[in-house]
């Protein structure tokens, strides 16, 4: 065998060996890529994404699309080295350390469950923000989630009790109830007015000193919203809070005459709170790629993500800065009518 043939044989063997090793070697990285987009004005699995019952709705047009990030990898299904290498050379995806998505303190299942809870909360926040923008009143309810064994509330306040007042003062949110408890000296008894089933009860609960020396009763609470009509959001297998802004806009569009989009294909992202404030999200680069691939020409971008978004925005995608729901509605009106300025991520 000639030296050249031997060299080729050895090189081929080394390449094959490296390929086998790369295919078998698992690495603690996660590949992030553009995920599916869903038009909140359209259908998912033949069902409307947003269904409103008990209130007049109006026809819509165009698209207000939520965007997602798909991932490969995780502690229970690690990717191989070759998959990671392909990701590193693909400009449309990102390869990040596993702990970025799945912290050591939580399992993959716990992270996925948390994403599901965040998606549910984002839908409530989106509805609340839309109704706040439209000046439609709604009520906040605070319910007992659990009580701590050995603490005064245990056995007195029950899971599901709706707390409506503390010592006669209306309980509007979790923070006001917690503040009312901390405001008294440890040992003071407080009267909680609760709705339990169809009954309204007054329950006396003594306080004790917590770890910081301030009063506690030993209960966990959760806020929920009582809306004057039903808003149902169907997005299939999507988690996380980042679709809040788009949900709010979709609800607004259905509840108001005219077309918020002006017939354009608009996509966007951003968390939202009940006041309408828009917050930042992760995976902005992959979400913009997914939006453009779906035909969007306008991308609503949280203000805190603008600097990053400008660096990697796909050609043909106009970035509109979103700070609040109200400002975003004004910007969409300006885009549709051509009147007024449109806030841009580029200044």
Cα–Cα distance for residue pair 5/229, rounded to 1 Å: 78
Quick check: is 146 catalytic?
no
From the list 156, 254, 264, 287, the catalytic residue is 287
- Return the pLDDT at 7: 54
**pTM score of the predicted model:** 0.79
Q: What is the pLDDT of residues 129-166, one digit of tens each?
A: 999 999 999 988 899 999 999 999 999 999 999 999 99
Quick check: is 156 catalytic?
no
Element (H, E) at 331: helix 325-337
Cα–Cα distance for residue pair 256/59, rounded to 1 Å: 9
Instruction: Give the Cβ contact number of residue 85 at 10 Å.
Output: 13
- What CATH number has the domain spanning 30-136+229-337? 3.30.230
Residues 6+ apart with CB under 8 A from 205: 152, 153, 156, 157, 189, 190, 191, 192, 217
Tokens found for residue 227: 């809306």
Closest-CA residue to 193 (of 157, 218, 159, 221): 157
From the list 65, 122, 215, 242, the catalytic residue is 242
Domain borders along the chain are 30-136+229-337, 139-226
Closest-CA residue to 204 (of 176, 175, 221, 184): 184
Per-residue pLDDT of the chain (347 residues; tens, 9 = 90+): 555 554 555 455 444 444 554 445 677 888 888 999 999 999 988 899 999 999 999 999 999 999 999 888 877 778 777 777 787 778 888 888 878 777 776 666 766 666 676 777 889 999 999 999 999 999 888 999 999 999 999 999 999 999 999 999 998 888 899 999 999 999 999 999 999 999 999 999 999 999 899 999 999 998 888 899 999 999 877 777 899 999 999 999 999 999 999 999 999 999 999 999 999 999 999 999 999 999 999 999 999 999 999 999 999 999 999 999 999 999 999 999 988 889 999 86
Class of domain 139-226: mainly beta
């Amino acid at each position: 065998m000639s030296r050249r043939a031997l060299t080729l044989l050895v090189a081929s063997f080394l390449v094959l060996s490296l390929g086998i090793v790369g295919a078998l070697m698992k690495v603690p990285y996660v590949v992030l890529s553009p995920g599916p987009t869903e038009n909140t004005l359209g259908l998912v699995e033949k069902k409307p994404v947003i269904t409103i019952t008990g209130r007049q709705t109006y026809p819509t047009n165009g698209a207000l699309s939520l965007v997602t990030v798909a991932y490969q990898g995780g502690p229970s299904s690690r990717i191989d080295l070759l998959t990671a290498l392909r990701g590193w050379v693909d400009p449309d995806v990102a390869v990040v350390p596993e702990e970025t998505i799945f912290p050591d303190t939580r399992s993959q299942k716990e992270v996925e469950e948390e994403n599901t809870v965040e998606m549910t909360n984002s839908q409530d926040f989106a509805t609340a923000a839309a109704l706040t923008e439209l000046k439609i009143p709604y009520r906040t309810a605070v319910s007992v989630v659990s009580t701590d064994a050995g603490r005064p509330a245990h056995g007195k306040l029950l899971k599901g009790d709706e707390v409506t007042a503390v010592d006669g003062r209306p309980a509007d949110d979790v923070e006001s109830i917690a503040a009312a408890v901390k405001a008294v000296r440890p040992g003071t008894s407080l009267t909680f007015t609760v709705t339990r089933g169809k009954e309204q009860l007054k329950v006396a609960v003594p306080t004790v000193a917590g770890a910081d020396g301030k009063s506690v009763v030993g209960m966990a609470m959760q806020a929920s919203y009582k809306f004057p009509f039903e808003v149902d959001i169907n997005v299939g297998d999507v988690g996380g809070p980042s679709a809040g802004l788009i949900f709010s806009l979709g609800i607004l569009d259905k509840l108001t005459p005219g077309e918020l989009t002006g017939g354009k294909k608009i996509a966007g992202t951003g968390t939202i709170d009940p006041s309408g404030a828009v917050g930042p999200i992760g995976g902005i680069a992959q979400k913009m790629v997914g939006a453009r691939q779906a035909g969007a020409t306008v991308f609503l971008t949280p203000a805190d993500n603008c600097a990053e978004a400008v660096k990697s925005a796909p050609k043909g995608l106009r970035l509109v800065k979103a700070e609040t729901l109200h400002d975003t509605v004004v910007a969409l009106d300006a885009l549709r009518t051509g009147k007024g300025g449109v806030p841009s991520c580029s200044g």
